[in-house]
Structure 1
Amino acid sequence: MTLAHLAQPGILEPIPAQGRYLTCQLRVGADPRAVLRRLAGQSDGQLTIVGLGASLVRELDVSIPGLKSFRGIDGARVKLPATPADLFIWLRGTDRGDLLIRSRQLEALMAPAFDVQDITDAFIHDNGRDLTGYEDGTENPQGEEAEATALLPESAGLLAGSSFVAVQRWRHHMSRFDAMSRQQQDHAIGRERDSNEELDDAPESSHVKRTAQENFDPEAFVLRRSMPWAEGNQGGLVFAAFGCSFDAFEAQLRRMSGAEDGIVDALFDFTEPETGAYFWCPPVANGGIDLRAIGL
C-alpha cells in the first residue's frame, strides 16, 4: 500500500522553480509547543516542508527513533561541518517574491519561540543541472521505489510516512572548476557533461564511482531533492537527501570523505560543504503537518 498520502507531498514531487531554506533555533527558555501547533496548521507539506531537529525533539521530552544530530564522519579526510538546528523549513514555489512574503509571515509566526538562523534562496537551473553544468540526481529512485527509500513504513505507526532528511549547503569554488580542463571536469564527476553518459575510464575518485548507490552493502539509496543557490557571484548546491533513516546518506558520505578507503571524492577539488544538519519531517493529516508522534 502506498504511503504517499501520509508524506509531506513536496518530498516526493519534482524540484520547484524557486526554493527558500530556513533554519531556526529555539530561544533559551521558550516553550515551542504553541508555535509548533500553529506552524503545523499553516504548513501543507507541499509548498512548505517542515523538519524538526533532534535538539528540539529532546526539548519536548519525547524521542523519534532514528533521529540524531549530524556530527560529521569519523575518519573523514575533508572538513564536514556540523551545524545543527532546531527547525528546518523548505519553502517551494514559482515566484521568488512570493517566497519572501511567505518567509516573513512564517518568521512572524515563529517569533515567540524561534529565531531564524539562516536563509538560503535556491532555484532550478537548466532543467535540473548543477551550476557546474552537470545533471543532478540522475540515479534518483522513482515511484514506489522513491517512497520506500524516503518514507518510514506503515509498521512505524504514527511515524509512518515521515522522513529523515540530511541537509548540506555546498559552496562551489567556481574559479577552481573553471581552471580544470573539460576532461578533468568530466572525470571529477564521472559523466560526460552534455550527454550525461557515465565514463568507464573515470578514476575511482570520480563522484559517480564514489556514490554508486547500488555498490554499497546494503545498497545506499537516497531521494535527492537538491537545488542550486547563488548570492552575488558565489553559488553552489543545497544538498537534501531524504531517507527512511540516515544510514544510506552516511554510507555515501563516509566513502566520499575518504573515511572508508582513503580515496576522497573529486568533488572536494572544487566544492565543499559549509553546513550539515539532520531533521525529521513529520507526516501529514487533514491538510497539515501531523505532530501526534511528538505529543502535539
Structure 2
Amino acid sequence: MPTQKIVAPPAKAAMFLVLTVNEGAEAQVADVLTGVSDLTKAVSFRVPTSNLLCVVGIGHDAWGRLFDAPLPRDLHPFREFHGEVHSAPATPGDILIHLRAGTQDVCFELAKQLMSRLRPYTRVQDEVHGFKFFEERDLLGFVDGTANPEDEDAQSAAVVGDQDPSYRGGSYVLVQKYLHQMDEWEALSTGEQERVIGRSKLEDIEMSDEQKPANSHVALNDLDDVDGHAREIMRDNMPFGEVGSAEFGTYFIGYAADPAVTETMLENMFIGNPPGTYDRILDFSTAVTGGLFFAPPRSFLDDPTTVPAQDTSSGADAPDDDAVSASPAPAAPADGSLGIGSLKRP
C-alpha cells in the first residue's frame, strides 16, 4: 500500500500549515485533498533534485466531517498537560500540512498552490517556515535529531502496521510550536546549558547516567522499553524565527505508530517523572500551539473509498475520547514547554 512519505532524511527547508475547515465546506476540502499527490508531483517535477515531500494529517474533530470512513484506532483530540509550572496547550486545527524539501522555494510554491484551492474553504490557524541551522542544530545551539531511530526501527516507530490494518502505512503526527526565551538561555554558561539538555553542546555526546540530571531533557524523553520493544518516535523538528520581532523557536513534529509514546514523553516533560521533576528546558521555552493528527496512507488520501464506510448498524462505539482528556482548544497560556521530544532530528 503506498504511503505518505513519513520516514525521510533531514530536510533543509520546511513549512507547516495548520488549518480549520469552514462549516459546510467539508465536501470541497475533501475533494481538494484527493489531488494533493498529483499537485506535489507537478511542483516537484519542476525541480527534480528538490526532494519535495508533502504529508497531510487530519485531526480528530474533522475526520468524520471529511470522510465516510472509520476513525483511525488511536486518533483523539490533542491531550493537554498541565504541570505545577508549565503547560502544553491544545489549539484549533483540523488539517496539518507538512512540507519539506532541499530548498524553501518549492515548499513555498506547493503551499501557494494548495492554499489557492483550500483558501475559500479553510482558515489558516498557524503558518511556520522552518530552516536548517548549522549542523542540524536548533536555535538553542544543540544538535536536534541524533537519537532518532533509523531504517527498520524508524519504520516500526513511526508507521502504523498490523495494529490497524485499514490504515496500515499511516502515522500519528503530534505538533507543537515553541518560542524560546533566548536572552535567558544565552545568559546560562555552556556547562549549565548542557545540564539542561543532558548532552554536550559542541560534541553532541550524551552524558552518562551518573552525570545526567534527572530533570534534563534527554533523561525525561528516553523511555524504557516495554516487553523488549523500544518506545521511540520520529522527529522532524525545524528552527524558525523573525529577527524583527525577536521571535525565535522550534517547531516540534513527531511521527509515531502509537501517539501514546509521544504523549508519555510530554507527560514526563510537563508533569515530571517522578511528578514534580519537570523538564528544565521548559523554563526557557513556551508552548503556544498543540495538535494531534493522523496522516493516512497515500492511497486513502487519493481515494477515501479504499476504506469501507463506517458501519453504524452494528452499534459499534467510537473510541472513548474522555479517556484521553479531550479538552476544547483554549488560548495558549503564558507558560509552556519545549516538547522537542528529544531535541533530535531524523
TM over 0.5: yes
Taking the TM superposition and a 5 Å limit, the aligned residue runs for 1:1-296 are: 6-9=2-5, 11-31=6-26, 32-43=29-40, 47-60=53-66, 62=69, 63-73=71-81, 75=83, 77-154=85-162, 156-200=164-208, 201-214=211-224, 219-232=230-243, 233-260=246-273, 261-285=275-299, 289=302, 291=304, 292-293=306-307
* Distance in structure 2 (CA, Å) of the matches to 1:12 and 1:76: 35
* SS of residue matched to 1:213: coil
Rounded to whole Å, the distance in 2 between the matches of 1:229 and 1:187 is 24
Aligned length: 289
Rounded to whole Å, the distance in 2 between the matches of 1:65 and 1:155 is: 8
The CA distance in 1 between the partners of 2:196 and 2:302, in whole Å, is 40
TM-score of the superposed pair, with normalisation by structure 1: 0.89
Instruction: Decide whether the 8 Å contact of 1:164 with 1:243 is kept in 2.
Output: yes
Q: Which runs of 5+ in 2 are unaligned?
A: 42-50, 310-346
Counterpart code for 2:90: A
Q: Please give the per-residue CA displacement for 1:63-93, whole angstroms capped at 9, x wherever unaligned.
A: 2211111131265641211113110001112
CA contact (8 A) 2:175 2:290 kept: yes
CA distance in 1, matches of 2:159, 2:262: 14
Contact 2:34-2:303 at 8 Å conserved across structures? no
| C-alpha distance 22-226 of structure 1, shift in aligned 2 (>3 A) | same
Separation (CA, whole Å) in 2 of partners of 1:184 and 1:271: 16
Question: CA–CA distance in 2 between the matches of 1:294 and 1:190?
Answer: 47
Helix, strand or coil: the match of 1:102?
helix
Task: Decide which moves more: 62-71 or 186-195.
Answer: 62-71
Q: Is the 8 A contact 1:70 1:84 kept in 2?
A: no
* Contact 2:174–2:254 (Cα < 8 Å) also in 1: yes
Is contact 1:172-1:270 (8 Å) kept? yes
Partner of 2:334: none
- For 1:96, the aligned partner's letter is Q
1:241/1:249 contact within 8 Å kept:
yes
| Amino acid paired to 1:202 | K
Deviation at 1:181, TM superposition (A): 1.2
Per-residue deviation, 1:57? 0.3
Gap change, CA 1:133 and 1:176, over 3 Å in 2: same
**TM-score scaled to structure 2, two decimals?**
0.77
Q: Give the letter for the 1:15 counterpart.
A: P
Aligned counterparts of 1:39 and 1:209: Cα–Cα separation in 2: 39
Contact 1:35 1:112 in 2 (8 A): no
Give the letter aligned to residue 26 of structure 1. Answer: V
Q: Describe the superposition over 1:219-243 as per-residue Cα deviations: whole angstroms up to 9, x where unpaired.
A: 4311111111112232111111110
Q: Distance in 2 between matches of 1:155 and 1:278?
A: 19
User: Aligned equivalents of 1:167 and 1:229: distance in 2?
Assistant: 14
- What is the one-letter code of the residue matched to 2:108? L
Cα distance in structure 2, aligned partners of 1:196 and 1:58? 44
Aligned-pair identity in percent equals 29
Letter matched to residue 57 of structure 1: W
